[in-house]
């Protein structure tokens, strides 16, 4: 009889806010909340911050939010500040001519707060940096290798229950607010049966490769957009000094995935400047499907979505994580107001949903689609607009100032927390 082990006792771990996903958005939200003493648990299915090559560039618009949580100096120190601008060129195989360039040097001194085009730093390094700041907060806990699998939300007053699959079996949590920051394939969004509306681009897959190659020697600046119907690409620094460069390009969807590495070599032959045979060190190459999708609702009761879990766009122009950081900043302010000032949760979270969803629908979706088509479309209207844009870059000194102002523009902060909190 004594050989039968005792029945498991189910224990629940509680946090005011439980965040699913230790990506940059989940961690940024955790940092903002934990700095105000809110107890936060972040769970992630992976054993560490994701390492796949994704975002490299963060626009000035997010730096104000980084400043508020004390991240901006570390970010600037770890990354490479793009003081040059953005060049638009033909692919090397077609002569590599510069068609136009956004030049930060053309902006009058003091005209904008951040007089650069962006900070370049790999997403993994940014995630690790935010995590380091989180770990300095007493009310922060992270649990790696805990995959969210389900939730129960029993009415307005009782805690939300969550189950995760951990390394030693199921782990149960309770929380007052649950945030799904678990990326475009969000299990939280799916558990709530929320449709991810929009479409997936079926003309090209994106390939994000990291490579060590001396682009500067051949006149490349920090950020370069290659304009061509077939060989369009983005070539940009992923950080400072010896950090690799990102070469991201489109791979036609009829090319089988088994030919990926061969295709990378062929693309490099057409894209990279310099003498042949080319000598480079390929660090990694990952294919991605790109989407323009948004969750139909971002809030169900006290469960809320943020970042890629709520929206996903193609990466040209670097708007995905930029938008996600701004979601996390707004949602962080709402949760702080609810949990420390006892403000009405339903009103604030509904406002978060409507303001941030509209920001993605009206700006990010449209701008990222325009950025992509500007690089490769042969539609006569888009070609005319592209030529007009390059002409303005070359002839109109005002456009540099206007663009820098737009990249700095502060989102109206309807959720700002009083300085006394």
CB of 398 to ligand FAD, least distance (A): 26
366-371: long-range contacts (C-beta < 8 A, 24 or more apart)?
367/317, 367/319, 368/292, 368/313, 368/314, 368/315, 368/316, 368/317, 368/319, 368/320, 369/292, 369/313, 369/314, 371/314, 371/316, 371/317, 371/319
Rounded to whole angstroms, the Cα distance separating 41 from 13 reads 9
Backbone angles phi, psi at 298, to 5 degrees: -110, 0
Residue nearest to ligand FAD (CB): 23
CB of 356 to ligand FAD, least distance (A): 12
CB of 13 to ligand FAD, least distance (A): 15
Query: Among candidates 234, 209, 272, which has minimal Cα distance to 375?
Result: 234
Question: Which residue number, 91 or 324, has a Cβ lying nearer to ligand FAD?
Answer: 324
50 contacts ligand FAD (rule: CB under 6 A): yes
Token pair belonging to 296: 């139909």
248 contacts ligand FAD (rule: CB under 6 A): yes
Question: Which residue number, 284 or 347, has a Cβ lying nearer to ligand FAD?
Answer: 284
CB of 7 to ligand FAD, least distance (A): 27
Question: Which residue number, 25 or 417, has a Cβ lying nearer to ligand FAD?
Answer: 25
Scan residues 124-163 and list those touching ligand FAD (CB under 6 A): 147-148
Task: Choose, by CB under 6 A, the member of 85, 239, 324, 332 that binds ligand FAD.
Answer: 324
CB of 320 to ligand FAD, least distance (A): 3
Task: Choose, by CB under 6 A, the member of 99, 119, 285, 321 that binds ligand FAD.
Answer: 321
180 contacts ligand FAD (rule: CB under 6 A): no
Question: Which residue number, 176 or 308, has a Cβ lying nearer to ligand FAD?
Answer: 308
Contacts (Cβ under 8 Å, ≥6 apart) of 337? 343, 348, 415, 417, 421
Instruction: Report CA 178 to chain centroid distance, whole Å.
Output: 20
Show the binding pattern over residues 287-316: x = contacts ligand FAD (CB under 6 A), - = does not: -x------------------xx------x-
Parallel, antiparallel or unpaired: strands 169-180 and 12-20: parallel
Task: Choose, by CB under 6 A, the member of 18, 43, 130, 131 that binds ligand FAD.
Answer: 43
Question: Which residue number, 83 or 94, has a Cβ lying nearer to ligand FAD?
Answer: 83
Task: Choose, by CB under 6 A, the member of 16, 33, 35, 45 that binds ligand FAD.
Answer: 45
251 contacts ligand FAD (rule: CB under 6 A): no
CB of 130 to ligand FAD, least distance (A): 10
Question: Which residue number, 60 or 347, has a Cβ lying nearer to ligand FAD?
Answer: 60
Task: Choose, by CB under 6 A, the member of 173, 196, 204, 206 that binds ligand FAD.
Answer: 206
Token pair belonging to 325: 């950081």
Question: Which residue number, 165 or 383, has a Cβ lying nearer to ligand FAD?
Answer: 165
Question: Which residue number, 50 or 72, has a Cβ lying nearer to ligand FAD?
Answer: 50
Instruction: Report CA 359 to chain centroid distance, whole Å.
Output: 15
Scan residues 259-288 and list those touching ligand FAD (CB under 6 A): 288
54 contacts ligand FAD (rule: CB under 6 A): yes
Query: Among candidates 261, 262, 271, which has minimal Cα distance to 236?
Result: 271
Strand partners, 85: 103
CB of 234 to ligand FAD, least distance (A): 8
Rounded to whole angstroms, the Cα distance separating 417 from 334 reads 8
Contacts (Cβ under 8 Å, ≥6 apart) of 254? none
90 contacts ligand FAD (rule: CB under 6 A): no
Task: Choose, by CB under 6 A, the member of 16, 33, 35, 56 that binds ligand FAD.
Answer: 56
Task: Choose, by CB under 6 A, the member of 35, 57, 221, 377 that binds ligand FAD.
Answer: 57
CB of 288 to ligand FAD, least distance (A): 4
Scan residues 16-35 and list those touching ligand FAD (CB under 6 A): 20-26
Contacts with ligand FAD by CB under 6 A lie at 20-26, 43-46, 50, 54-57, 123, 147-148, 181-183, 187, 206, 208, 248, 288, 307-308, 315, 318-322, 324
């Amino acid at each position: 009889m004594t050989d039968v082990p005792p029945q498991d006792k189910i224990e629940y771990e509680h946090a005011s806010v439980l965040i699913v996903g230790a990506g940059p958005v989940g961690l940024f939200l955790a940092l903002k909340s934990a700095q105000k003493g809110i107890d936060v648990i972040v769970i992630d299915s992976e054993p560490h911050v994701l390492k796949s090559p994704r975002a490299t560039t963060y626009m000035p618009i997010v730096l104000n939010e980084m400043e508020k949580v004390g991240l901006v100096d570390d970010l600037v120190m770890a990354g490479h500040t793009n003081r040059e601008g953005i060049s638009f060129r033909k692919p090397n195989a077609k002569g590599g001519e510069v068609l136009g360039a956004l030049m930060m040097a053309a902006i009058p001194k003091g005209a904008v707060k951040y007089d650069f085009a962006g900070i370049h730093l790999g997403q993994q390094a940014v995630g690790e940096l935010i995590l380091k700041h989180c770990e300095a907060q007493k009310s922060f806990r992270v649990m790696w290798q805990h995959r969210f699998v389900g939730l129960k939300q029993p009415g307005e007053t009782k805690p939300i229950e969550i189950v995760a699959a951990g390394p030693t079996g199921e782990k149960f949590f309770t929380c007052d607010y649950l945030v799904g920051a678990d990326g475009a394939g969000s299990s939280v969004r799916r558990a709530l049966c929320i449709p991810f509306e929009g479409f997936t681009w079926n003309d090209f897959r994106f390939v994000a490769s990291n490579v060590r190659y001396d682009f500067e020697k051949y006149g490349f600046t920090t950020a370069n957009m290659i304009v061509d119907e077939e060989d369009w690409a983005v070539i940009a620094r992923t950080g400072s000094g010896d950090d690799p460069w990102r070469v991201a390009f489109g791979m036609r969807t009829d090319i089988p995935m088994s030919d990926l590495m061969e295709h990378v070599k062929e693309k490099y032959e057409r894209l990279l400047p310099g003498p042949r045979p080319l000598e480079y060190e390929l660090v990694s190459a990952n294919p991605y499907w790109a989407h323009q999708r948004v969750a139909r609702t971002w809030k169900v009761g006290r469960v809320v979505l943020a970042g890629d879990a709520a929206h996903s766009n193609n990466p040209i122009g670097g708007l995905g994580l930029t938008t996600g950081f701004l979601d996390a900043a707004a949602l962080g302010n709402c949760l702080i107001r609810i949990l420390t000032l006892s403000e009405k949760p339903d009103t604030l979270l509904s406002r978060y949903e409507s303001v941030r969803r509209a920001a993605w629908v009206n700006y990010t979706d449209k701008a990222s689609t325009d950025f992509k088509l500007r690089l490769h479309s042969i539609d006569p209207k888009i070609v005319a607009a592209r030529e007009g844009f390059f002409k303005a870059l070359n002839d109109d000194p005002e456009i540099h100032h206007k663009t820098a102002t737009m990249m700095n523009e502060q989102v109206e902060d309807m959720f700002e927390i009083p300085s006394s909190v």
